[in-house]
Amino acid sequence: MNPTNFHFNPKDASLRERAFKVVPSGMTGHLDASVLPQGYPQYFERGQGCHLWDVDGRKFIDLMCSWGPNLLGYRHPTIEQAVQRQQAIGDCLNGPTPRFVELAEQFVERSAHADWVMFQKNGTDATTVCVTIARAATGKRKILVATSAYHGADPWCTPRPAGVTAEDRAHLIYYTFNDLQSLQQAVDQAGSDLAGIMVSGFKHDMAQKLEMPTQAFANSVREHSSKAGAALILDEVRTGYRLHKGGSWEPLGIRPDLCAWSKAIANGYALSAVTGVDSLRDAATHIFTTGSFWAGGVAMAAAIATLEVTDQIDLVKHLELIGNHFRQGIEKQAAGHGFKVNQSGPVQMPLILFEDDKDFSKGLKFCAHALSNGAYLHPKHNMFLCLAHTMDDIDLVLQATDKAFQALSQSSLR
């Protein structure tokens, strides 16, 4: 019944078999395809624009954008040219290249709250640095985080408890996103020991309906932070550049004290960043955090080029345009085929959940059928749109989803 069963993708199957011998379970982390619907490839050969090719030569219009990093299109010529220019002279040296200063200046200029910036490699590096700076600045320990929010994969924040000790999270206090009362309770619990309140750009917990922050919640987070002299830490790793150029809470008029960035900022090259306000500059100086490759010039050249491209266009407007087109198309198709779907989150980072689908069987089948018709969707995680997606590409995706709805309507999952 499923034409994309991976047994029909011999190269992918062969690589999985080989990997199983030399990598625990064959693949670990968020890119593990064994949790995806049948037919999804684990291994990819290449990417260009909004297209991906798997190792068996199947071509997809990609709505995951490498889980965020692909902001402008795979192998965007401006980025690749900047990368090649830098690579031809030097990347990882005994100190940074001039790109470090150029990027820092441009980054601070464009990030609405930022007076300074530090660079790392992983999103987890950035969130961990934020927590450390907040503690160093305040001399306090408690960090408030939303229940189920993803802030990285270090022991203090990884979503799976194996290997984590109670002490790794001794100073975390949990609140419910958008729930003022639970936030107040968490603040009360922290008492005089509150170092920071961490928030995501919006609530984007795996396999749950996405939620934009309410104005009242954003205001309250800001007020509690300011009142306690604690840092408002915005985790912009997933949301950065896609919602608002200066920071995803700019439309709410709320600015963080510290902000963690990664994923999209260098269009796929490994880079993360922490921006902060002047009052936290000293603390940022006093902590010690570093990495062998953090000053590498190539990723910074890519990040500068990413800013250049996004300066020349209204990226958010484009993403909203195609995102609305996609959302309306799905809405119409679902209704036409008699399905109730819940679409949530900002249109440029869409999530489609079927109602009455607790085991995700509908969502999984729907995505498997869409994949076999050339569209790479995700059944549980928010997706990502990019500059390379055209209205025509979205129309092609909608042709694939229409066939997927149709197949689903003819199956036992109707």
Give the shortest CB-340-to-a second copy separation in angstroms: 28
69 touches a second copy by CB under 8 A? yes
Identify residues 93-132 at the interface with a second copy (CB under 8 A).
93-98, 100-101, 104-105, 107-108, 115-118, 121-125, 128, 131-132
247 touches a second copy by CB under 8 A? no
Residue from 2, 185, 189, 270 touching a second copy (CB under 8 A): that is 270
Residue from 2, 38, 43, 246 touching a second copy (CB under 8 A): that is 43
Identify residues 310-369 at the interface with a second copy (CB under 8 A).
none
Identify the sign of the CA torsion 281, 180, 189, 226: positive
Give the shortest CB-138-to-a second copy separation in angstroms: 9
CA atoms within 13 A on the CB side of 108: 15
What is the distance between the alpha carbons of residues 318 and 404, in angstroms, rounded to a whole number?
26
Identity of residue 36: L
207 touches a second copy by CB under 8 A? no
33 touches a second copy by CB under 8 A? yes
Between 220 and 348, name the residue whose CB sits nearer to a second copy: 348
158 touches a second copy by CB under 8 A? yes
Between 95 and 312, name the residue whose CB sits nearer to a second copy: 95
68 touches a second copy by CB under 8 A? yes
Residue from 77, 90, 253, 338 touching a second copy (CB under 8 A): that is 90
Between 27 and 347, name the residue whose CB sits nearer to a second copy: 27
| Range 365-386 burial, b when 16+ CB lie within 10 A, else e | bbbbbbbbbbbbbbbbbbbbbb
47 touches a second copy by CB under 8 A? yes
For residue 414, list its beta bridge partners: none
Identity of residue 202: F
Report which of 405, 350, 413, 344 is spatially closest to residue 382, judged by C-alpha positions. 350
What is the distance between the alpha carbons of residues 197 and 275, in angstroms, rounded to a whole number?
16
Element (H, E) at 175: strand 172-175
77 touches a second copy by CB under 8 A? no
Between 127 and 344, name the residue whose CB sits nearer to a second copy: 127
Between 120 and 220, name the residue whose CB sits nearer to a second copy: 120
| Strands (E) located in 49-156 | 51-54, 59-62, 116-120, 142-146
3-state helix, strand, coil in the chain (%, to 5): 45, 15, 40
Give the shortest CB-374-to-a second copy separation in angstroms: 14
